[in-house]
Amino acid sequence: MDWLTTVDHKKIGILYLLFGGFFFLLGGIEAVLIRIQLMYPDNKIFIGDTFNALTTMHGTTMIFFAAMPIIFAFMNAVVPLQIGARDVAFPFVNALGLWLFFFGGVMLNVSWFLGGAPAAGWTAYAPLSTIVDSSITYHGVDFYVLGLQIAGLGTLIGGINFLVTIINMRAPGMTYMRMPLFTWTAFITSALILFAFPAITVGLVQLMFDRLFDGAFFEVSRGGNPVLWEHIFWIFGHPEVYILILPAFGIISDIVSTFSRKRLFGYSSMVFATALIGFLGFMVWVHHMFTTGIGPVGNAIFAIATMAIAVPTGVKIFNWLFTLWGGQITFTTANTFATAFIPTFVMGGTTGVMLAVPPADFQYHDTYFVVAHFHYVIVGGLVLGLFAGMYYWWPKMFGRMLNEKLGKVHFWTFFIGFHMTFFPQHFLGLMGMPRRVFTYQPGVGLEQGNLISTFGAFLMGIGTIAFIINVIAAARSPKNAPADPWDGRSLEWSIPSPPPEYNFKQTPLVRGLDAFWKEKMAGNKEMTPAEPIGSIHMPSPSILPLTFSIGFFIAGFGFMYHNYVVVAIGGVIMLGSMFLRSVYDDPGYHIEPEELEDKGVKA
């Protein structure tokens, strides 16, 4: 019950990690099934709509229900600690965001058991997603629409929560230009969520009206326009790529700096580069649509904007390299993942610049070249960054260290498997293999690349299993992680692992960039407090975020099957939860100074 009602950001972070990890495994299994089908030409294992459903579900699950929640897991677990806060600004809303995301993910994935998963591609382009003939396509895309709407609302309120937290709840002395890079990237990511997610929400509402209420937004025969969906989707979809990758940049920045025993090279330029990437991310969406016939002027403008993003990204790459340069580098598992991220991400970025050239994109578009580029950015970038973050912050989140030897096994199998999987796909794409095809002809030179690619996917799977074994082994060991296992630089390492529920006994006084490192260099064992010890106010746990999300989930099913009794039941649960939240005043509770002393916690 404690976990179902919690509003503690650290527990919510762990739940995000748990649920995101579960969906990551689901998406990974779907990926392996896709590769098994493409292992040999003329395979007949997963064909037709089954294959389409696998590709749709793999993409949708990995982006919305695996990558996003694991990013939110780190934001929850780390950001309040890095800024010296006791919690996020709105703990109740934080819990609500978690449960909405979870039930959105469940809504999407139960489609496998209720007539077939969506099979319109993860981008759900109209008219593929508006067809309501066959029962499979019909309800499949409904699950997609409603699942993403529920989860998207959770993400949106989560983003708003972190914006307010970072603006309002920094410790005394924690100016913007003293915040660790991960907090900065979380801040800019939250701003991107605030502006990007309303676009996809509007698109999904239009698609829902087309499918459930006989609308005509994307129906050509009735005056609609399918290219409208592409615009709405990518106005969200391109900033979404930066919503995913910017937190990974922050993780890498913190880790490279810690394990080089140096402050981050060019800190202020890193901050401005992050902001510039976020800003430019909204100006490039049409590069996904160079082949739709927008014309030379539109294509040229968006090509130039796309290439411009390479500049701030390049600034980051050089700053990481200069941080490593001349540092006392220790290659822990976290730092191995972080340093491997840098060249891998550069490869993904290079193919991105190639795709930014419209005449070249005409050739690359909808081939495996694009699949290779995207996965080099998201797996070679984001997933390596997330794994680095896992090994780095695991002791802080759980109070237990992950095994370094198993971590190295995980790294090498996953890293080699990744390059084996996606490097050959560049050449498959250049040889003309289209994306989203479930078979290919023998004798046209595509067999070898596909076979290597499938073996690589198996190797990535083995690496992931090594990580799971590591996690299980760590969970069985005693909670004996030190407060500061890596000789860290930022505030989260100044308190015990795992942190007490109130985080900081006394709010710390921040006296510079790398606040904890500055205190250590001055000979202090702990942070200088900014206040005397006093009673700490804490919010009460609540079951209402969970019940509200269940109500939303039930109402979604009612809309899908046109059963308005079920809609009413779901609506009553939702409105009842909102009503109770409004009339019941939560006074919270206080932890008194005597209790702090009793718990034997050092300041």
Please give the full DSSP string across 556-583, using - where no structure is assigned.
HHHHHTT-HHHHHHHHHHHHHHHHHHHH
Which range is least confidently modeled, 148-152, 214-218, 369-373? 214-218
2 within some domain: no
Please check whether residue 536 is in contact with residue 502, taking contact to mean a CB–CB distance below 8 angstroms: yes
User: What pTM value is reported for the model?
Assistant: 0.96
DSSP state of 591: E
Q: What confidence category does residue 161 fall into, taking pLDDT thresholds of 50, 70 and 90?
A: very high
Helix ranges (H only) for 400-443 are 404-430
Q: Domain of 472: which CATH number?
A: 1.20.210.10
Query: Whole-angstrom distance between the N-terminal and C-terminal Cα of the chain?
Result: 30
Please check whether residue 283 is in contact with residue 301, taking contact to mean a CB–CB distance below 8 angstroms: no
572 within some domain: no
562 within some domain: no
CA–CA separation, 291 vs 288, rounded Å? 8
Nearest alpha-carbon partner for 211 in 118, 294, 145? 145
18 within some domain: yes
Reported as a single tens digit per residue, the pLDDT across 329-368 is 999 999 999 999 999 999 999 999 999 999 999 999 999 9
Nearest alpha-carbon partner for 180 in 240, 244, 255? 255
Q: Which residues of 130-144 are buried (b: 16+ CB within 10 A; e: fewer)?
A: beeeeebbebbbbbb
569 within some domain: no
CA–CA separation, 151 vs 144, rounded Å? 11
Phi, psi (5° rounding) for residue 4? -75, -25
Please check whether residue 76 is in contact with residue 7, taking contact to mean a CB–CB distance below 8 angstroms: no
Reported as a single tens digit per residue, the pLDDT across 570-589 is 999 999 999 999 998 888 99
Helix ranges (H only) for 309-382 are 310-324, 333-355, 358-364, 368-377
Domain hosting 249: range is: 9-542+586-599
Reported as a single tens digit per residue, the pLDDT across 245-304 is 999 999 999 999 999 999 999 999 999 999 999 999 999 999 999 999 999 999 999 999
Residues 6+ apart with CB under 8 A from 545: 7, 92, 95, 96, 98, 99
Q: Look up residue 311 and give its amino acid.
A: V
Q: What confidence category does residue 6 fall into, taking pLDDT thresholds of 50, 70 and 90?
A: very high
492 within some domain: yes
Q: Which pLDDT does position 322 carry in this prediction? A: 97
Q: Which pLDDT does position 332 carry in this prediction? A: 97
Q: Does the pLDDT at position 600 exceed 60?
A: no
Q: Which residue has the tokens 């890596």?
A: 486
Please check whether residue 13 is in contact with residue 74, taking contact to mean a CB–CB distance below 8 angstroms: yes
How many domains does the chain fold into?
1
Reported as a single tens digit per residue, the pLDDT across 440-452 is 999 999 999 999 9
222 within some domain: yes
Q: Does the pLDDT at position 313 exceed 90?
A: yes
3 within some domain: no
